[in-house]
A = this chain, B = another copy of it.
Amino acid sequence: MATNVAPLTAFAYHMPMKIGILQLNPVVGDIQGNSKRILEAVRKAEAMGVDFCITPELALTGYPPRDMLLYGGFIHKVENSAAQLATELKDSIPVLLGSVETNRSGTGKPVYNCALWLKDGAVRQSFKKTLLPTYDVFDEARYFEPASDNAEANNILIFKDRKFAVTICEDAWNDKDFWETRTYDRDPLEEATAQGPDAILNISASPFSLGKQDLRQRMLGAVAAKYTTPLVYVNQVGGNDDLVFDGRSCAFDGQGKVFHRSPGFVESVQIVDLNNPKTNSIAKDDLSEEAETWNALVLGVRDYVSKSGFKKVLLGLSGGIDSALTAAIAAKALGPENVLAVLMPSPYSSQGSIDDSLDLAKKLGIKTMTLPIEHIMDSFSETLAEAFEGYEPDTTEENIQSRIRGNLLMALSNKYRALLLTTGNKSELAVGYCTIYGDMSGGFAVISDVPKVLVFSLCLWANNTFGGIIPENIITKPPSAELRPDQKDQDSLPPYEILDAILEEHIEHHKNEAELIAMGYETEVVRKVLKLVTFAEFKRRQAAPGIKLKPRSFGTGWRMPLACKREL
């Protein structure tokens, strides 16, 4: 396969070749701002002495631009901006820029996802993406026309007598030796390497999920080794709605070994020197589940808040572990001075919950406000007394309390122009242990992809790492919604260890009832959990966006029918 490929050694001691890795954090749709950001990064890299620069995929639009791509006016602006950028960089170094290009063939989707070669004041060459991910959170076949079957010759960039194979993200993710099953017939990497490149370039917008970086390094390392060709992978960084991009751009030598890694979860401009692998830097990285989760959540919150035009946030503190963790993440992401915690005790709230909340706020250095809700609860009871005559109390009364709190929080959000964060975890959202328009109210659901068991271990990790920021009592007491006297989560739900295990199998691995029972889970428990998951679908449809952590999450990548029968 790779017979005519030059190994790293043949390349390494040839002429100098330093590449600027622009690991950027664009704002989706902010063409002007992103253009400026790219320009500044190129100037910086130029000053560092690189020969050319590489941006992430779609750096000019930010990834994912979604339905903005359906607007012809938007595409026009992006194309103009790329040409303008080329002009402004006329006397600078060349750039391989992630952008779009209009499809002028008259057939197919209106645009290509491509890498543009900006050199000497103009766009000199365009490399089109071939493999368009259309699964989970990805909708690329909705927008983009793929490179045609005859595009092989166009995948090669020649610069300073060296040949580079240019690929875009998914193009490198279909190797038949690495993957047990393949998503696509074509392998653009195989096509490109058949032409004997000196190195493979891959511009990406590869969103974070737990374990993804480990997979990327194994997979990209394996293809670099397979073709005995160095591979440079440049990833986007930053939070864009539900997606966090973790950066961690890498370079691999022709044996598949990482010889450069940019830092995770921050913007950076770095040098990859293909000739002197030893001079390159490999940023430290913590691949533990807790560290990855924490870093992703902090970045996700910071960017969602700032890219939405907010500075301040608020949230309800119940005294429970979920709101405590959310508050800790928000304080870290935005600074404690920008976080307001609101306590809204009812007659069912324990004094312990109030004390724990105040203790937490003190440790985090965030402000608090206390708004007791008993008086409002009474006014609802009176107003509804006649309508509820003859009906037994049920979850209705609990939901009313939760919605009173939602109304108060939204009122403060509106009045103070602060974004309301919701505090529910993934286990709750899965089984519907949450109130729509109540505790589900808010603009951003920080931990909605964190299962309850991980909530606990993340709090312990945070306390170890940052020195006891979450009161011990909040972590150790039995979880309760405190919506009726002596209520405990475990009265209505199986133990969280079992619940989370079943949910992971069902949501992430698509196991159905029969398969779960065959795996050894109790029939009654499985049935109950799956029934709850199904029933809660209408709540999730109206849930706030949250940060994707897991390979499969609720949100944009979860598309379930509502008025249906689920015979999975």
- Stretch in A93-101, A189-197, A395-403 touching the partner: A395-403
* B-side contacts of A514, CB under 8 Å: 73
- Chain A contacts with B in 533-549, Cβ cutoff 8 A: 538, 541-545
Q: Are A28 and B410 in contact (CB under 8 A)?
A: no
Measured CA separation A562–B544 after assembly (Å)? 11
Q: Are A30 and B375 in contact (CB under 8 A)?
A: no
List 23 A-B residue pairs with CB atoms under 8 Å apart, sorted by A's residue number: A28-B564, A29-B565, A29-B566, A66-B559, A66-B560, A68-B561, A71-B568, A74-B568, A106-B181, A107-B183, A108-B182, A108-B185, A305-B563, A371-B387, A373-B383, A376-B376, A376-B379, A383-B408, A394-B415, A396-B411, A399-B411, A410-B437, A541-B545
* B-side contacts of A449, CB under 8 Å: none
Q: Are A375 and B383 in contact (CB under 8 A)?
A: yes
Interface centre among A391, A437, A441 (most CB of B within 10 A): A437
Residue from B29, B373, B378 in contact with A561 in the complex, judged by beta carbons closer than 8 Å: B29
Question: Assuming the A-B contacts A241-B561, A543-B542, are A567 and B372 also in contact, with contact meaning beta carbons closer than 8 angstroms in the complex?
Answer: no
Measured CA separation A511–B76 after assembly (Å)? 12
Q: Mark A132-176, 1 if CB is under 8 A from B, else 0.
A: 001100010110000000000000000000000000000000000
* B-side contacts of A380, CB under 8 Å: 376, 407-408, 411
* B-side contacts of A77, CB under 8 Å: 567
Measured CA separation A304–B538 after assembly (Å)? 12
With an 8 A cutoff between CB atoms, is A9 at the interface? no
Residue from B71, B369, B563 in contact with A28 in the complex, judged by beta carbons closer than 8 Å: B563
Q: Are A107 and B185 in contact (CB under 8 A)?
A: yes
* B-side contacts of A307, CB under 8 Å: 563-564
With an 8 A cutoff between CB atoms, is A184 at the interface? yes
Q: Mark A275-314, 1 if CB is under 8 A from B, else 0.
A: 0000000000000000000000000000111011000000
With an 8 A cutoff between CB atoms, is A478 at the interface? no
Q: Are A184 and B384 in contact (CB under 8 A)?
A: no
CB distance from A109 to the nearest CB of B (A): 8
* B-side contacts of A388, CB under 8 Å: 415
Q: Are A108 and B567 in contact (CB under 8 A)?
A: no
With an 8 A cutoff between CB atoms, is A523 at the interface? no
CB distance from A191 to the nearest CB of B (A): 16
Q: Are A415 and B387 in contact (CB under 8 A)?
A: yes
Residue from B141, B181, B183, B241 in contact with A563 in the complex, judged by beta carbons closer than 8 Å: B241
With an 8 A cutoff between CB atoms, is A64 at the interface? yes
Q: Are B545 and A544 in contact (CB under 8 A)?
A: no
With an 8 A cutoff between CB atoms, is A16 at the interface? no
Measured CA separation A45–B320 after assembly (Å)? 61
Give 9 nearest A-B pairs by CB, closest first: A73-B512, A307-B563, A30-B565, A28-B564, A396-B414, A379-B379, A141-B141, A403-B407, A437-B437
Question: Assuming the A-B contacts A31-B567, A134-B134, A563-B28, are A406 and B408 also in contact, with contact meaning beta carbons closer than 8 angstroms in the complex?
Answer: no
Query: What would 13 more interface pairs be, CB under 8 Å, given A400-B407, A410-B436?
Result: A106-B182, A107-B181, A107-B182, A108-B185, A139-B559, A239-B563, A388-B415, A394-B414, A400-B411, A407-B407, A407-B437, A437-B437, A541-B545
With an 8 A cutoff between CB atoms, is A510 at the interface? yes
With an 8 A cutoff between CB atoms, is A20 at the interface? no
A interface bracket (residues with beta carbon within 8 Å of B): 35 or more
With an 8 A cutoff between CB atoms, is A33 at the interface? yes
Q: Are B399 and A410 in contact (CB under 8 A)?
A: yes
Residue of B nearest to A555 (CB): B541
With an 8 A cutoff between CB atoms, is A13 at the interface? no
Q: Mark A481-523, 1 if CB is under 8 A from B, else 0.
A: 0000000000000000000000000000011111100000000
* B-side contacts of A378, CB under 8 Å: 379
Measured CA separation A378–B378 after assembly (Å)? 12
Measured CA separation A240–B563 after assembly (Å)? 7
With an 8 A cutoff between CB atoms, is A451 at the interface? no
With an 8 A cutoff between CB atoms, is A348 at the interface? no
With an 8 A cutoff between CB atoms, is A70 at the interface? yes
With an 8 A cutoff between CB atoms, is A211 at the interface? no
* B-side contacts of A31, CB under 8 Å: 567
Q: Are B387 and A369 in contact (CB under 8 A)?
A: yes
Measured CA separation A67–B240 after assembly (Å)? 23
With an 8 A cutoff between CB atoms, is A365 at the interface? no
- Chain A contacts with B in 417-474, Cβ cutoff 8 A: 436-437, 441, 443
Residue from B106, B239, B403, B567 in contact with A74 in the complex, judged by beta carbons closer than 8 Å: B567
Question: Assuming the A-B contacts A71-B512, A415-B394, are A308 and B562 also in contact, with contact meaning beta carbons closer than 8 angstroms in the complex?
Answer: yes
